């Protein structure tokens, strides 16, 4: 069988170097078998920066002082899979939690292209019965490209296909003409969410706590246990005493934090919270 020669030389040592670099800057632990994924995602960066080999590209990154290529390198290696109302059991819990509160503040800590924070916003609009509820949602991600898409709030109509028609009308505008096949989040909903870059590994988190809820879903899976532990310990002081922490379906925070207890399926509260609140 004919073997296609690769456009760029990519040695096992280059792969190990990428693994160490993305772990150091984003906490992401890339599995051994991700050679092909790394090659195809970074080959685009090599083309656009005009480097002839991975070795040269990685040398440039190591010597880089503020060209912005570290951000592009990180953006290329994140996995941004998400969906509106993903893990739907969380949203009724969020709605119940908001009941009777004069204001409500949420941090969505790995918001990707925005489907998650907008699902939170829709849930809270419904819970407060208003398109202008007393709600603040800060949505952050390390990846600046997904944040741009999120702030624009434009999606293929396909992505909202399973949403009830009433909900769709309430929260989205349908594109016409050149925008046919697209939907746009209504400005009222967009106003509830502010997007900003934040690296969960970063020293400073420019946030305004305390929060009634933190969403940290399907991002801890990319981190090793010590990193998860550090991040969770930094969440705790940002949470109101009865705040909820929402995790992804395959993430278990009990193994990495003594400060949390399970409130329901992948929903946590502080150990210090009064039972039944």
CA distance to 91, 93, 118, 244, 268, per residue, from 238 (Å): 21, 20, 22, 11, 14
Decide: is 123 part of the binding site for ligand SAM (CB under 6 A): no
**Sign of CA pseudo-dihedral 63, 69, 71, 76:** negative
Site for ligand SAM in 124-143 (CB under 6 A): 141-143
Decide: is 190 part of the binding site for ligand SAM (CB under 6 A): no
| Minimum distance of ligand SAM from residue 163's CB (angstroms) | 16
Total Cβ atoms within 10 A of residue 271? 11
| Minimum distance of ligand SAM from residue 59's CB (angstroms) | 24
Active-site choice (14, 45, 141, 217): 141
* Angle 109-110-115 from CA coordinates, rounded to 5°: 110
242 is catalytic: no
Active-site choice (41, 86, 159, 174): 41
| Minimum distance of ligand SAM from residue 15's CB (angstroms) | 19
224 is catalytic: no
Decide: is 82 part of the binding site for ligand SAM (CB under 6 A): yes
Give the helix/strand (H/E) hosting 104: strand 104-108
Cα–Cα distance measured from residue 106 to residue 137, given in angstroms and rounded to the nearest whole number: 5
* Angle 244-147-141 from CA coordinates, rounded to 5°: 45
Give the catalytic positions in this structure: 41, 141
Q: Where does this chain bind ligand SAM (CB under 6 A)?
A: 26-28, 78-82, 86, 110, 112, 116, 141-143, 146, 199-201, 217-219, 222, 248
């Amino acid at each position: 069988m004919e073997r296609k020669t690769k456009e760029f030389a990519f040695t096992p040592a280059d792969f190990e170097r990428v693994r160490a670099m993305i772990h150091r800057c984003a906490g992401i632990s890339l599995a051994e078998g991700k050679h092909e994924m790394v090659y195809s995602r970074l080959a685009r960066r090599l083309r656009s920066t005009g480097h002839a080999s991975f070795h040269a590209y990685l040398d440039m990154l190591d010597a880089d002082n503020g060209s912005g290529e570290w951000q592009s390198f990180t953006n290329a290696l994140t996995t941004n899979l998400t969906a509106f109302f993903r893990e739907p059991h969380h949203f009724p819990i969020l709605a119940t939690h908001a009941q009777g509160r004069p204001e409500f503040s949420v941090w969505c800590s790995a918001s990707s292209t925005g489907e998650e924070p907008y699902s939170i916003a829709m849930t809270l609009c419904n819970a407060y019965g208003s398109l202008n509820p007393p709600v603040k949602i800060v949505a952050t991600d390390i990846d600046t490209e997904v944040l741009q898409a999120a702030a624009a709030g434009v999606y293929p109509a396909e992505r909202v296909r399973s949403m009830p028609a009433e909900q769709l009308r309430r929260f989205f505008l349908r594109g016409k003409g050149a925008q046919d096949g697209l939907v746009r989040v209504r400005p009222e909903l967009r106003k509830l969410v502010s997007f900003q870059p934040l690296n969960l590994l970063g020293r400073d988190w420019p946030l305004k706590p305390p929060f009634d809820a933190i969403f940290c879903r399907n991002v801890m899976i990319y981190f090793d246990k010590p990193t998860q532990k550090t991040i969770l310990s930094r969440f705790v002081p940002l949470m109101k005493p009865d705040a909820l922490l929402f995790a992804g379906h395959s993430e278990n925070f009990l193994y990495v934090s003594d400060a949390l207890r399970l409130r329901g399926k992948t929903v946590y509260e502080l150990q210090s919270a009064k039972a039944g609140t």
